[in-house]
Chains A and B, each alone.
Chain A
Amino acid sequence: MAISKRKRAQYIRFGVYALSVALVVAVVLLVDWSRLQGAMFRWDLVKKQFPGLITTAARNTIIFTILGFAGGLALGLFLALLRLSRARAYRWFAATYIEIFRGIPLVVTLLILGFGIPIAFKWQWPNPYLRGAVPLALVAAAYMAETIRAGIQAVPKGQMEAARSLGMSYSRAMATVIIPQAMRIIIPPLTNEFVLLIKDTSLISILGVTEGTIDLARYGRNGVFDSANSTPLIVAGLAYLVMTLPLTQLVAHMERRQKASGR
């Protein structure tokens, strides 16, 4: 007995659905919830995370993120302009930079700049925040440069020509006509980049931390060592979500709006 294609698709959909429900029910029934709560969600340990979680850990994560983002944005814009330059040497330099910093894991860049360079040059980072944020910014710049370049190239060519025909210099036209229009295209992916940076700051602590520069992830980890319980990490994870979820929702909103307005 042959069944039609559409009928079969319907059965498959139903099957997948029934299986999912069964799986959820199985998890609910089989997991020992009180034991899980004891190991991962103890209220007394949740409370113990505060206020340090906010006043030190989240604060430092935000400081690292903002420093990394601001530095990355400035350098990324500069690299994007080099990529679009008429001078081949500039384009080549920017392309090389971008390939290098996108091709190396952030951890390696952090270690080289955080330990390797200071040892090689008998030099010290003047500030522990900069030691973490500068490598972050250098890597972020490589990603942002490509985003910004694509945004600038999406602005119609006629806009630059109109600006130049009015007597504006190239840089004046870029600053007043092209980049403001590119921003509309660039802002959603740059916000995504910001979210990635929030999470990437969790790697900075491999350079070692002082009491004052501890970030969310390390704060959670230290909490685990102190209490032999996972609750502090769960709390740290939730703290990341509190920061990232609004931003990813904002991006989704902006993208929906751009789609609706045809651009």
Chain B
Amino acid sequence: MNTEAVVSIRNLNKSFGDNHVLRGIDLDVQRGEVVCIIGPSGSGKSTLLRCVNMLETPTDGTVVVLGTDLTDLDSDLDAARTKIGMVFQSFNLFSHMSVLDNVCVAQRKVLKRSKDEAEKIALQLLQRVGLSEKATAYPAQLSGGQQQRVAIARALAMNPQVMLFDEATSALDPELVGEVLNVMRGLAEEGMTMLVVTHEMGFAANVASRVVFMDGGVIVEQGPPAQIINSPQEERTKAFLSSVQQH
């Protein structure tokens, strides 16, 4: 087995009541890999991502992140989550806190960093996502693209070993998608391990090290982006890609 796997998922199953959403997923993500997950709506992509940091509790199977089996009830979930950054479709910035406090609060309360240290790190990260001048603003005063970049900075402030992106640009106006994708591309180039659910085929084609196509709660097909996007083998993949390309 490869010891470099940051995320290692085995036989993952998840049901919501009678709805069997994930049906035996096996997936490894190596350090530095950018894995893009594509697939039709309702195929279980978000649920898979949310199982990686246990926002959903799997019905069966194991999820090992950085050597810790998170399905083991003895594992320290809160500690593991600091190593797993997550970016949501709806941003989920803390609406009662300034941008700076959004990026600082978990550093201070979870990592117990000093105020000075946390703010220094926060300002560096805000600069990196191009928002240093917005440090004192509140989320409601920002555009969607700006909010999402703050959310990325907030996740990065914990020094995560892997980042999860769940349709990070789907809620954005088209002209704001680029600024968020650019930040994500920059992260990928720096070697961040990333698991990205996206409908942006351009991003998947150019940035992903691997593309995974999901449908009906299973991984139908996976491989290098050129292979999956340009010459898919499975009928379901072909059908999905042609439906996406019509937009």
Contact = CB atoms under 8 A, between A and B. Distances in A.
Interface stretch (B17-25, B83-91, B198-206, B214-222): B83-91
A257 to B, nearest CB: 15
Interface stretch (A14-22, A163-171, A228-236): A163-171
Contact of A176 (B79, B88, B105): B105
Interface string B53-69: 10100000000000000
B109 interface: yes
Contacts of B111: 167
B94 A159 contact: yes
Interface stretch (A64-72, A143-151, A177-185, A190-198): A177-185
A236 B63 CA distance: 68
User: Chain B CB within 10 Å — which of A159, A166, A168 has the most?
Assistant: A166
B88 A167 contact: no
B96 A165 contact: no
B109 A165 contact: no
A161 B158 contact: no
Contact of B96 (A162, A167, A172, A184): A184
Contacts of B92: 156, 158-159, 161-162
Nearest to A175: B109
Contacts of A176: 105, 109
B190 interface: no
B88 A166 contact: no
B45 interface: no
Nearest to A261: B140
B95 interface: yes
Interface string A203-235: 000000000000000000000000000000000
B53 A165 contact: yes
B78 A161 contact: no
Given A158-B90, A172-B109, A165 B84 contact: yes
A127 B94 CA distance: 44
A159 B79 CA distance: 19
Nearest to B78: A167
Interface string A69-80: 000000000000
Contact of A166 (B90, B95, B96, B110): B110
A162 B150 CA distance: 13
Contacts of A162: 86, 88, 92-94, 151
29 contacts: A158-B88, A158-B90, A158-B92, A159-B92, A159-B94, A162-B93, A162-B94, A163-B94, A164-B55, A164-B81, A165-B53, A165-B55, A165-B81, A165-B86, A166-B81, A166-B82, A166-B110, A167-B78, A167-B81, A167-B82, A167-B110, A167-B158, A168-B78, A168-B109, A168-B110, A169-B78, A172-B109, A176-B105, A184-B96
Given A166-B106, A166-B155, 8 more contacts: A159-B94, A159-B95, A162-B151, A165-B53, A165-B86, A167-B82, A167-B106, A177-B105
